[in-house]
Chains A and B, each alone.
Chain A
Amino acid sequence: MAPEVEVQLIAVIVAAACALPGVFLVLRRMAMLSDAISHTVLLGIVLGYLLTRDLGSPLLFVGAVAMGVVTVALVELVTGTGLVREDAAIGLVFPVLFSIAVILISRFAGNVHLDVDSVLLGELVFAPFDRVRLLGLDLPRALLVGLVTLLANLLLIGLFYKELKLATFDAGLAAALGFAPALVHYGLMTMVSITAVGAFDAVGSILVIALMVAPPAAAYLLTDRLARMLLLSVLIGAASAIAGYWLAYWLDVSVAGAMATMSGVAFGLCYLFAPGRGLVAGAARRAHQRWEFAQQMLTLHLLNHEGTAEAIEECSPSRLSAHLRWPPAFAAEVVRRAEQGGLVQRRGELLTLTERGRRLAQEASLR
């Protein structure tokens, strides 16, 4: 495979792997834990390296995953004392662990290939050069790691779909039915941690956050069903990854940064144009409701004065604006719409209700 294709493939797989646990983070309102975890896994990697002095050792991976879970436990420990609130606890814990990691790197590991820039940015472009052989296939290591993470996430979510779903949407019921909430919580956090570590090498810690939160948040605006949200998140994540790659290619800029930007763009598009929940749909709905309501008012007004002596005075189109306190242009437009919709008809200088208009007015007055 050509290196460019491999890079895109890695990006897509990493994006998909991140989006899956991200869905549960977003739904469980724990998105900021991804920020904490993706920073602190660095400390696990550094400690693992200082113990083994070998960047290829599996202990680094284990240490990083463990550190992610330790971060969550520490946040809960600090929150549990009741001395600070949870958001402040997150803000206290992860900068400290990250600081220790940065200092350890520059003190003791500055000469090895482990610098802070690549931690934040990742080195996706160089991923194809780091290769492993497996089953006679020559694969980039990042691709293999990404695939394993993705499959593990798929397997875990597939096996515990029911438990995760229940614990996410109704924690109380889940506990009452005997699904240990703590077990689900820490299981999920381990999954997030493994994913962050797996993706970390290729795309850097900041992109891990973007890929874990932006696609699920975008998908959350598109659907109410968990299964659909999972699928949409994976698709949006993959699309942002590819779009980001090409943006970076054309502008010759940081690939990880461009992917994070594109995932933000994807969210922005959903935020604006999502059917039903987007800003545009909301504005259109409000505008529609405004006309509907005004037409209802008009029919009620006509019903009120129907057949009375002052009907000529009250129900002429030219006087409506004064009686209903509408600006003349608005009143004219309401009458036009109501006529078009068959709610009222004009008889000379008099507006009268049609059968449909009368029914609408009666229904509205009963409500």
Chain B
Amino acid sequence: MELLTALFADYTLRTVALGAALLGVVSGVLGCFAVLRRQALLGDAMSHAALPGIALAFMLTGQRDPLVLLLGAAAAAWLAALLVLGITGTSRIKEDSALALTLSVCFGFGLVLLSLLQKRPDAAQAGLKRFLFGQAAALVERDIVVMAALGLPALLCVALLWKHFKLLSFDPEYAASLGMPTGALSILLTTLIVMAIAIGLQSVGVVLMSAMLVAPAAAARQWTNRLSIMVLLAASFGALAGVSGALISATTRGFSTGPTVVLCMAAITLGSLLCAPERGLLWRWIRGRRQLAPVD
């Protein structure tokens, strides 16, 4: 209760909660499409690959404006996605190898750039390290504005192209046979996922961002068979985990934001896997017992 009053009174807490909620909603919605299209791990590769983008954006512009850094991150993540698709499309390297390769090499390159920056006399790299594990407590109003500027258009895009994305996720061949530009649509969808990743970088960090795409979608999937409900549920789960994780992290010592948000999300996911009606493991177990029980 004390926390709730603080939430409305305290400027920092309000900013943090707003940012985390925004992240949760956007990554929840777009994560659904990523999971349905079997691209859960592409998010992992893309978010690791965002690191060199952040460092390069800072090196080239010398600015620490969140918009510049996040656009750099998004560009690098987008290139990484193209790289993975290019490698699997033009050689016999399988998707898993291409993902692991892109992820580790891009991240390694990012570390090289970060250590280059560290040598700068103005020690300006301070503040870039927080992109590793996120630091929601450091969010300011300007960050929220940037996050909203990236996230709301992405959500709007999903709403406008809802039918297209739905068909693309479930039956791409049929979508192509209807004359939909499936290539352009999948690139657009990947771009939107990149936006979601960029939004999460400041609060969750590159290392754990992928979980924010996968977990809400996996949790929401258990409760429903309808995409619309799944997307709404994933958005709420994401927002819930984001806000509670960010608040715990901002008020408790030793809880980095990224890991805390991920653990909150994991609790929701575990609950869904166990308790969701029809699909949940508990229900399945009860059903099994009932079938075993002797008939009176």
Contacts and interface: CB of A to CB of B under 8 A. Distances in A.
Contacts of A207: 104, 108
A47 to B, nearest CB: 15
B100 A99 contact: no
B28 to A, nearest CB: 14
Given A95-B262, A98-B259, A251 B41 contact: no
Contacts, number: 200
Interface stretch (B5-13, B154-162, B174-182, B207-215): B207-215
A278 to B, nearest CB: 8
Contacts of A26: 94, 97
A213 interface: yes
A212 B99 CA distance: 13
B96 interface: yes
Contacts of A85: 35, 38, 40
A260 B168 CA distance: 35
B111 interface: yes
A248 B87 CA distance: 27
B263 interface: yes
Contact of A31 (B96, B115, B215): B96
Given A35-B103, A107-B254, A110-B254, A95 B108 contact: no
A157 B259 CA distance: 37
Interface stretch (A214-222, A225-233, A311-319, A349-357): A214-222
B101 interface: yes
Contact of B255 (A103, A116, A217): A103
Interface residues of B, number: 62
A267 B273 contact: no
Given A256-B108, A263-B105, A271-B91, A90 B132 contact: no
B2 to A, nearest CB: 22
Interface in A279-322: 279, 282
| Most chain A CB within a 10 A radius of its CB, from B40, B96, B279 | B96
B101 A214 contact: yes
Contacts of B103: 35, 209
B93 A260 contact: no
Contacts of B115: 252-254, 257
A267 B86 CA distance: 14
B226 interface: no
B258 interface: yes
A96 B40 contact: no
B119 interface: yes
B92 A277 contact: yes
The main secondary structure of chain B at its interface with chain A is helix
Interface string A90-102: 1110011011101
Interface string B119-143: 1000000000100110000000000
A30 B96 CA distance: 6
A182 B150 CA distance: 46
A71 interface: no
Contact of B132 (A87, A120, A252, A277): A120
A68 B193 CA distance: 29
B101 A84 contact: no
A103 B107 contact: no
B110 A214 contact: no
A233 to B, nearest CB: 12
A329 interface: no
Interface in A131-182: none
Contact of B93 (A209, A221, A263): A221
A106 B104 contact: no
A264 B109 contact: yes
Interface string B76-87: 000000000001
Nearest to B87: A271
B108 A210 contact: yes
A88 interface: yes
A92 B267 CA distance: 11
A51 interface: no
B105 A254 contact: no
A103 B133 contact: no
A341 to B, nearest CB: 30
Given A81-B281, A221-B92, A257-B112, A102 B104 contact: no
B114 interface: yes
B266 to A, nearest CB: 4
Interface string A340-351: 000000000000
Contacts of A261: 105, 108-109, 112
Contact of B260 (A99, A120, A251, A279): A99
Contacts of A32: 41, 44, 96, 99-100
A176 B215 CA distance: 38
A216 to B, nearest CB: 8
Contacts of B72: none
Nearest to A278: B91
A92 B41 contact: no
Contacts of B61: none
A254 B112 contact: yes
A251 B111 contact: no
A100 B259 contact: yes
A85 to B, nearest CB: 7
Contacts of A7: none
A41 to B, nearest CB: 15
Contacts of A260: 104-105, 107-109, 111
14 contacts: A31-B99, A83-B222, A87-B38, A87-B39, A91-B41, A91-B44, A95-B215, A98-B259, A106-B254, A121-B111, A206-B107, A252-B115, A258-B108, A261-B109
CB-CB nearest 6 A-B residue pairs? A260-B108, A264-B105, A257-B111, A99-B259, A95-B211, A210-B104
Given A90-B40, A95-B210, A103-B256, 11 more contacts: A35-B99, A81-B273, A99-B258, A102-B256, A103-B254, A206-B108, A209-B100, A212-B100, A254-B115, A256-B108, A258-B112
